[in-house]
Amino acid sequence: MNQIGFRMQLNEGQTVEYRRRHDEIWPELLVLLKKAGISDYSIFFHEETNSLFAVLRRAHDHTMDQLPLDPIMQRWWAYMADIMASDNNNEPIVEPLERVFHMA
């Protein structure tokens, strides 16, 4: 397993809606993420900047790079595109973050 972190941007005023949608996350999306080798996935919110910080663990043989091709993932991104910064195909704009410290 390796761990990665990244930042996304939530549109202003969308915190409650973002939380609601994740409280009601689709079971088929969770299955898809787990099947891709993703586990221990958390998203944190920074209120002053509307930034979302995500950290997850993924298997060394993960298939995260195939997720954009899956119809479930595409539907989720389309569902979320109105409340967060997204590109032309509705994929959230993700800024990878470099780990500078880790305590195991």
Residue type, 17: E
Mean residue pLDDT across the chain = 97
Q: What is the pLDDT of residues 14-29, one digit of tens each?
A: 999 999 999 999 999 9
| 103 found inside a domain | no
* pLDDT of res. 60: 97
Rounded to two decimals, the pTM is 0.94
Identify the band that residue 57 occupies on the pLDDT scale cut at 50, 70 and 90.
very high
**Can you give the residue range of the structural domain that contains 58?**
2-97
CATH number where 78 lies: 3.30.70.100
Question: Six-digit token pair at 53?
Answer: 């910080």
Q: Is residue 15 a contact partner of residue 57, using CB atoms and an 8 Å limit?
A: no
Identify the band that residue 104 occupies on the pLDDT scale cut at 50, 70 and 90.
confident
Q: Is residue 27 a contact partner of residue 100, using CB atoms and an 8 Å limit?
A: no
| 87 found inside a domain | yes
Active site residues: 22
Mean pLDDT across the stretch 47-64?
98
Question: Six-digit token pair at 34?
Answer: 């787990």
